[in-house]
Amino acid sequence: MHYSVCVLGATGMVGQKFVQLLENHPWFKVKSLAASEKRIGKKYGSEVEWLISANLPDYAKDVEMVPLDPKQVDADIVFSALPADIAKEVEPKFAEAGFVVSSNASAFRMEEDVPLVIPEVNADHLKLVEVQKKRRGWDGFIITNPNCTSTMFVLTLKPLMDLGLKSVRIASMQALSGAGYPGVPSLAITDNIIPFIKNEEEKCESEPLKMLGTFKGDRIEFAKIRVSASCHRVPVIDGHTEAVWVEFERNVSVEEVKEAFNSLKPLDLPSSPEKVIVIRNEIDRPQPRLDRDAGKGMSVVVGRIRKDAWGIKYIVLGHNTVRGAAGASILNAELLVKEKMV
């Protein structure tokens, strides 16, 4: 079983991660790579300054790049690593032309009829696809994965909902790769922390409410919890670390929280990790260098689970370009295949 795929925005940092993760994928075969007009017709290997910590896959070196035009693309599934402003214009053209678009871009995440999906959290939100196709008159459709920061802590919030989750506070320590390339200037981030990331806090406070909400036939009823976020850029290459404080409607113990985390089961998909939430008991874990590659970058790692005045607090870490970006879009596409939506 093989499905042909195209990566839109293949030359950027997330686009490169798509190219890396799709190498030897059991279900998906890259048939085309699409990029900006100046790169059309040129070979991918000669145009890309390879940024990630692996060699450029051999299969991609001689692929001639095509335009961001559905008439020029032959694929069953399109992965989008486009900037939000370009995605806003390009992705609907592909959906209207009948393509399945699995997008990492933020352009359509909060649209009422577009699923914002983490498969282990809200797979049932894929039911919005039929609403979207009917409402927009498209033969194809768009699904999205969340912001890389939201992804990490929402995976931990899902199993806590049944414990009476009331409010959430998070403080993020976000890796440089989350800023793309060339990212943050070295003189700005060396020996420094930058306590502002444009639009990040707004995404972290709104996206979880949609993902943890309930499908109501033609829309999502947002979750009735409160989320407050403070987001910061730190001098780490990969791996977003987040301090999380959760408040409940009742007194909840540390053991109940650990049991809830262990209850979140992986799906039977090629990119699914063996454990979705890995609990570290060491007092000084998780750490980006030690834990970001857990589950090949698809697990989130939790540690320092403890009581406080609000309820429970803990640290969560995840690989921002794998589970938080390209890997998330690929997992979403795998879910679509399993659900026979491709």
Angle at CA 252, nearest 5°, toward 246 and 256?
Answer: 100
Is residue 157 over pLDDT 90?
yes
CATH number of 303's domain:
3.30.360.10
Residue 148 pLDDT grade (very low, low, confident, very high; cuts 50, 70, 90): very high
Residue 206 pLDDT grade (very low, low, confident, very high; cuts 50, 70, 90): very high
Q: In the sheet that 277-279 helps form, which strands lie side by side, from edge to edge?
A: 226-233, 165-174, 240-248, 312-318, 300-307, 277-279
How high is the mean pLDDT of the chain? Answer: 96
Is residue 149 over pLDDT 70?
yes
Residue 53 pLDDT grade (very low, low, confident, very high; cuts 50, 70, 90): low
Question: What share of the chain in percent tops pLDDT 70?
Answer: 99
All residues at 6 or more sequence positions from 239 whose CB lies less than 8 Å from its CB, including other chains: 175, 288, 289, 291, 292, 317, 318, 319, 320
Residues 24 and 158 in one domain: no
Is residue 54 over pLDDT 90?
no
Q: Residue 25 and residue 210: Cα distance in Å, rounded? A: 30
Residues 166 and 65 in one domain: no
Lowest mean pLDDT across 46-50, 104-108, 208-212: 46-50
Give me the mean pLDDT over the 263-280 stretch.
98
Residues 279 and 261 in one domain: yes
Residue 52 pLDDT grade (very low, low, confident, very high; cuts 50, 70, 90): confident
Residues 314 and 332 in one domain: no
**Cα torsion angle, 184, 190, 192, 193, sign:** positive
CB 333 within 8 A of CB 76: no
CB 322 within 8 A of CB 21: yes
Give me the mean pLDDT over the 258-287 stretch.
98
CATH number of 35's domain:
3.40.50.720
Give me the DSSP letters along 21-39.
HTTT-SSEEEEEEE--GGG
Q: Note the pLDDT tens digit of each residue in 236-258.
A: 999 999 999 999 999 999 999 99
Residues 170 and 315 in one domain: yes
Q: Residue 229 and residue 170: Cα distance in Å, rounded? A: 5
Is residue 289 over pLDDT 70?
yes
Of 6, 125, 231, 240, catalytic? 240
148 carries an active-site annotation:
yes
Domain count, the chain: 2
The pair of structure tokens assigned to 186 is 């070295």
Residue 183: the pLDDT is: 85
Runs of H (alpha helix) within 107-184: 119-122, 128-136, 148-157
CB 32 within 8 A of CB 67: no
Residues 131 and 235 in one domain: no
What is the residue type of 136?
A: R
Residues 120 and 168 in one domain: no
Is residue 218 over pLDDT 70?
yes
What is the residue type of 107?
A: A
Of 6, 148, 204, 231, catalytic? 148
Residue 36 pLDDT grade (very low, low, confident, very high; cuts 50, 70, 90): confident
Give me the mean pLDDT over the 37-55 stretch.
84
Q: Note the pLDDT tens digit of each residue in 56-110.
A: 899 999 999 999 999 999 999 999 999 999 999 999 999 999 999 999 999 999 9
Mode of pairing for the β-strands spanning 214-215 and 220-221:
antiparallel
Residue 1: the pLDDT is: 73
Residue 311 pLDDT grade (very low, low, confident, very high; cuts 50, 70, 90): very high
Q: Which domain holds residue 19?
A: 3-147+325-338
Read off the DSSP letter of residue 218: S
